[in-house]
Structure 1
């Protein structure tokens, strides 16, 4: 790649792996490449918007959002940097979750929460009883 094509591709000088991954014939024509970039942006935007809609609904909202970011990362250096940062943070969180002290703490907190909920359910049943809709009145 030449310096001109690096600039044209939107690549960052400090990391030559960032930038456009469009096919060569697309990168040769400035108009075709800009149209390609607009198309990639719109497809990524639609996928990210679908993921945002899925966040409060049942569905894999975050997975879809990261899928849209991956689509953007095929063309835009900023999205590639965001995905790298996200991967590092997820790897750090996974490593931290495997720490025995953190696992022990999480197990104790989960046990306490389950016992508290069981106690509340027992109090409710003691106070109001269990009245099933199919029971004869």
Structure 2
């Protein structure tokens, strides 16, 4: 199966790169899709879930056509791995502080977009301090 997939990918690259217009359209499409996935990943980083995975996926999409994205992907992965190794070596207090900081970022973001006030409304809680200062 992998052999067939690699053969198909080689043929696709040859067919697309043979036609300059098609190649330009393909590169633009890869750029747009990769940038959208990357942006979604960056937004998702502080939230529980696969934020960094989405970032690396977006960079991987971009790296399929752009050398700068390939270099950035290698750099970002090395820094991510170094950060995770550093966190693992720290004591529970530092690890807890990092988690609390992440939780604070999530809560502030949810407050700014009005999600906390929305959820409070579901439970008939009228707390004006939960209202977003951005949304008024």
Taking structure 1 as the reference length, the TM-score comes to: 0.50
Counterpart-to-counterpart distance in 1, 2:78 and 2:35? 23
Counterpart-to-counterpart distance in 1, 2:21 and 2:87? 48
1:28 alignment counterpart: 18
- Normalized per residue, the structure richer in helix is 2
Map 1:70-89 to 2 at 5 A: 70-89=60-79
1:106 alignment counterpart: 91
Q: Contact (CA 8 Å) 2:41, 2:51: kept in 1 or not? A: yes
1:68 alignment counterpart: 58
The Cα RMSD (Å) is 3.0
Taking structure 2 as the reference length, the TM-score comes to: 0.50
1:29-66 per-position Cα deviation (integer Å, ceiling 9, x unaligned): 11111001001011112212222332354432221111
- Report SS of the residue matched to 1:23: helix
- Report SS of the residue matched to 1:59: coil
Counterpart-to-counterpart distance in 2, 1:45 and 1:72? 7
Aligned residues: 87
> Relative to 1, partners in 2 of residues 1:38 and 1:63: Cα closer, same or farther, differing over 3 Å?
same
| Structure 2: stretches of 5+ with no match in the other structure | 1-9, 97-136
